[in-house]
């Protein structure tokens, strides 16, 4: 059973602070890692993808990947109230199932004005 | 217009009824997926299809069936709906060579 674990939160941060979201996964052969943002009642929206160890930055978002530790994180700098949402970590299956994703249950982020 | 369109957006029905949820896409993607989302359980894969002749069961396919009518259309059927199938259902698409998936707006289904 391929598993993706996230802290369910809620994670509360003040406006302007850095929010740090974490994810661990069980499939050591996974190669593709994604962060989706989901507002309440809405569909998941892709915000970051990462495929290599290290950091990947896009605006206020930074994804970090450590395959040896099977760990993915998302940092949100200068957090805004509009960042309040549930963040889903998704990891692809290794091998023949590489186009399947397993999703974590999500971390709910609340940015306090 | 949305690239991945799901119909209906909301549906309330009774136990035992047959229900079809439809998904169409204009992204030109070959892969299509159906998920359900329940509070506390996250997104779970029901069925997926890599082309019109390739249909695969996901994690929770019991009680569901699918049809890939065309490259752009993928429908999900509940043959005899039961209350524990009440959930938010999402269709997603993906393209060859990339694991990224793109989601439709979802269908909120309530079975009484």
pLDDT digits (tens, 9 = 90+) for B5-48: 999 999 999 999 999 999 999 999 999 999 999 988 889 999 99
Question: Percentage of residues in chain B with pLDDT exceeding 70?
Answer: 98
Contact A53, A31 (CB under 8 A): no
| Closest residue in A to B42 (Cα–Cα) | A105
Which residue of A7, A35, A44, A97 is the best one to mutate when testing the B interface, meaning the one whose CB has the most B CBs within 10 A? A44
Residue A57 C-alpha, separation from nearest chain B C-alpha, in angstroms: 18
Measured between beta carbons, the chain A residues lying within 8 angstroms of B101 are 46, 90, 101
The fraction of chain A above a pLDDT of 90, given in percent, is: 81
Decide: B56 and B68 in contact? Cβ < 8 Å: no
In whole angstroms, give the CA distance from residue A23 to residue B49: 27
The per-residue pLDDT for range A51-101, each reduced to its tens digit, is 999 999 999 999 999 999 999 999 999 999 999 999 999 998 877 666 889
The Cα B110–Cα B13 span in angstroms is 6
Q: Give the number of other CB atoms < 10 A from CB of residue B57.
A: 13
| CA distance linking residue B35 with residue B81, whole number of Å | 16
CB pairs under 8 A between A and B: 45
Distance CA B34, CA A98 (A): 16
* DSSP secondary structure code for residue A60 in this structure: T
Tens digits of residue pLDDT in A1-34: 779 999 888 999 999 999 999 999 998 888 899 9
- What are the tens digits of pLDDT across the range B33-89? 999 999 888 899 999 999 899 999 999 999 999 999 999 999 999 999 999 999 999
Rounded Cα distance between A84 and B45, Å, is: 26
A43 closest CB neighbour out of B31, B42, B105: B105
Query: Nearest CA to CA, how far is A104 from chain B (Å)?
Result: 6
Structural tokens at position B59: 């994690």
How many Cβ atoms sit within 10 Å of the Cβ of residue B67?
A: 16
Q: CA of B40, closest CA in chain A: separation in Å? A: 7
């Amino acid at each position: 059973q391929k598993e993706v674990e996230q802290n369910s939160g809620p994670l509360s941060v003040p406006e302007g602070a850095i929010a740090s979201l974490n994810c661990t996964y069980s499939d050591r052969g996974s190669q593709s890692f994604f962060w989706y943002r989901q507002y309440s009642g809405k569909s998941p929206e892709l915000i970051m993808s990462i495929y290599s160890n290290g950091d990947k930055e896009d605006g206020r978002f930074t994804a970090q990947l450590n395959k040896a530790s099977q760990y993915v994180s998302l940092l949100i700098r200068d957090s805004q109230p509009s960042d309040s949402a549930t963040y889903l970590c998704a990891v692809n299956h290794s091998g023949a199932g590489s186009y399947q994703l397993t999703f974590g249950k999500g971390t709910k982020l609340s940015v306090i004005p | 217009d949305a690239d991945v369109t799901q119909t209906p957006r909301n549906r309330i029905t009774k136990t035992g009824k047959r229900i079809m949820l439809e998904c169409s896409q204009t992204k030109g993607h070959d892969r299509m997926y159906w998920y359900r989302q329940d509070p506390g359980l996250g997104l779970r894969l029901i069925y997926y299809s890599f082309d019109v002749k390739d249909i695969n069961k996901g994690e929770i396919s019991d009680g569901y069936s699918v049809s890939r009518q065309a490259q752009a259309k993928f429908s999900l059927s509940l043959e005899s709906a039961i209350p524990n199938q009440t959930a938010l259902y999402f269709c997603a698409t993906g393209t060859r060579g990339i694991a990224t998936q793109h989601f439709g707006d979802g269908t909120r289904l309530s079975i009484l």
